[in-house]
Amino acid sequence: MKLRTSVLTIHRSIGVVLGLVLLVIGLTGSTLVFYRELDQLLNPQLMQVVAQGKRLSPEVVLNTVRTTFPDMKLNTIILPRTSEGVYKVGLSSNSDELIDVFVNPYSGVILGSQQWGHTLMSFIYTIHNSLLVKEVGDQFVGVCGLLLLVLVVSGLAVWPGWRKPSLGFWIRWKAPVPLLTYDLHKVAGFLSAVFLLLIASTGAAMVFSSQFESVTYWLTHTPKLTPPVSTAVVDQVPLRLEEILLTADAALPEGQTTLVVLPHQPNDVFEVSKKLPQDTDVYGRSQVYIDQYSGKVLQVDNALKAPLASRISNALLSLHNGGYGGLGLRCLYVLVGLVPSALSITSFFMWCNRNRAKYY
């Protein structure tokens, strides 16, 4: 009983202190499960066109954007994945301002642009990722993820169903509000525990990615590869993107090219992302790294053949947002994301009630 009381005190204290934060993170997380669909719904004029025949090449699109935004650096280009999709080019300024430019793949017309942090969905993402606090906000959210793990484990430890299963799932609908609040809290917490553990652990792992990867590589005895670099050649310009894409297709022909990270520095490489048929990630987790001057393939990371440590790291985002299981699972993740909000509200009411002893 003393141990249970101590665990209960820890559980209650974390719940009360982090209640509001977990409510915000949970609500924004549920919204972000359908981030891309909502963004397209809010901005159809930017992200959807009528198919009109043959697409323009990515090279032509990049030249158009480069001419229109001469003072900005081209960082990435995302290729259309459907006949109605558009090109999306990522730019950055000298002051690290990030802009996405959307281009009609058939006419080459620039449909418009979005500045990161100035749209509703990017605002929601920033809240979820850092609570709008620069520098240390993401670290704080990562710590909250770790504390949520403690919260879930301690909640499971004091769940009354271990003594008698019927008690764990019993909801007294006609009981006074304090009793009903407690019953809803215990049942919702138990039923969502597995998913909350998964979401909290993957969220914290992505925030503390370097530490997580170091531990993962050590536990799996996986050697880390040296990042590939281009061999700089004096007075030689990088190869055309069309040549790079042909090389990437030859290196990993079974994958669909989704995104290209463009080189800036002399030693940078072209990083071509590929989506394999079995891949659950929107852009795929396979990459082809190509020397920007010689066109030599420096490294091919096939996500399906990657070492265990890499596969674990690659799976974090899909496990965090439900992307690994289709539409039904993503809808379930939306509901699970609302659970911390419900638990925060019920725990607050339970804490406010001075007669807590009778609930536990």
CATH number of the domain to which 50 belongs: 3.10.450
- Could you tell me what percent of the chain has a pLDDT over 90? 77
For residue 360, is pLDDT > 50?
Answer: no
Regarding whether 12 and 72 lie in a shared domain, the answer is no
> Of 65, 85, 118, which residue is a domain's last?
118
- Could you tell me what percent of the chain has a pLDDT over 70? 98
Structure tokens at 51: 């198919």
Strands 87-92 and 98-103: antiparallel
Regarding whether 162 and 22 lie in a shared domain, the answer is yes
Question: Cα–Cα distance between 87 and 68 in angstroms, integer?
Answer: 15
What is the pLDDT of the chain when averaged over all its residues?
92
Tens of pLDDT, residue by residue over 93-137, are 988 899 999 999 999 999 999 999 899 999 999 999 999 998 899
Question: Cα–Cα distance between 330 and 32 in angstroms, integer?
Answer: 10
Regarding whether 63 and 212 lie in a shared domain, the answer is no
Asked if residue 138 belongs to a domain, the reply is yes
- Provide the 10 A C-beta neighbour count for residue 52: 11
Q: Name the least confident of 131-135, 141-145, 194-198.
A: 131-135
What mean pLDDT do residues 1-20 have?
87
Question: Cα–Cα distance between 351 and 162 in angstroms, integer?
Answer: 23
pLDDT band (50, 70, 90) for residue 88? very high
What total of structural domains would you count in the chain? 2
What mean pLDDT do residues 169-184 have?
90
Give the pLDDT confidence score for residue 121 in this predicted structure.
94
For residue 358, is pLDDT > 70?
Answer: no
Tens of pLDDT, residue by residue over 250-288, are 999 999 999 999 999 999 999 999 999 988 888 999 999
Asked if residue 313 belongs to a domain, the reply is no
Tens of pLDDT, residue by residue over 317-346, are 999 999 888 899 999 999 999 998 888 888
Question: Cα–Cα distance between 196 and 30 in angstroms, integer?
Answer: 12
> Of 118, 146, 172, which residue is a domain's last?
118
Regarding whether 142 and 12 lie in a shared domain, the answer is yes
Question: Cα–Cα distance between 289 and 298 in angstroms, integer?
Answer: 5
Regarding whether 338 and 194 lie in a shared domain, the answer is yes
Query: Taking the CA of residue 358 as centre, how many other CA atoms within 13 Å lie in the half-sphere pointing to its CB?
Result: 8
pTM of the model: 0.88
Give the pLDDT confidence score for residue 281 in this predicted structure.
87
Question: Cα–Cα distance between 337 and 12 in angstroms, integer?
Answer: 20
For residue 71, is pLDDT > 60?
Answer: yes
Give the pLDDT confidence score for residue 354 in this predicted structure.
54
Rg of the chain (C-alpha set): 24
> Of 74, 93, 118, which residue is a domain's last?
118
Asked if residue 260 belongs to a domain, the reply is no
Regarding whether 215 and 143 lie in a shared domain, the answer is yes
Eight-state DSSP code of residue 205: H
Give the pLDDT confidence score for residue 235 in this predicted structure.
83
Give the pLDDT confidence score for residue 64 in this predicted structure.
97
Which residue, among 100, 99, 103, has the nearest Cα to 45 in the 3D structure? 103
Asked if residue 270 belongs to a domain, the reply is no
Regarding whether 173 and 24 lie in a shared domain, the answer is yes
Eight-state DSSP code of residue 57: P
> Which range marks the domain in which residue 350 is found?
2-34+133-219+322-359
Regarding whether 327 and 196 lie in a shared domain, the answer is yes
Regarding whether 61 and 204 lie in a shared domain, the answer is no
Asked if residue 280 belongs to a domain, the reply is no
Contact 158, 4 (CB under 8 A): yes
Which residue, among 80, 126, 81, has the nearest Cα to 104 in the 3D structure? 80
Regarding whether 213 and 142 lie in a shared domain, the answer is yes
Asked if residue 249 belongs to a domain, the reply is no
Question: Cα–Cα distance between 196 and 145 in angstroms, integer?
Answer: 10
Q: Name the least confident of 66-75, 178-187, 188-197.
A: 178-187
Contact 30, 338 (CB under 8 A): yes
Strand order in the sheet with 286-291: 110-115, 98-103, 87-92, 73-78, 256-261, 269-275, 286-291, 297-301
Regarding whether 93 and 208 lie in a shared domain, the answer is no
pLDDT band (50, 70, 90) for residue 199? very high
What mean pLDDT do residues 138-153 have?
95
Contact 144, 208 (CB under 8 A): no
Asked if residue 55 belongs to a domain, the reply is yes
Contact 275, 255 (CB under 8 A): yes
Regarding whether 11 and 138 lie in a shared domain, the answer is yes
Asked if residue 192 belongs to a domain, the reply is yes
Centroid of chain to Cα 97: 21
For residue 227, is pLDDT > 80?
Answer: yes
Start-to-end CA span in the chain (Å): 11
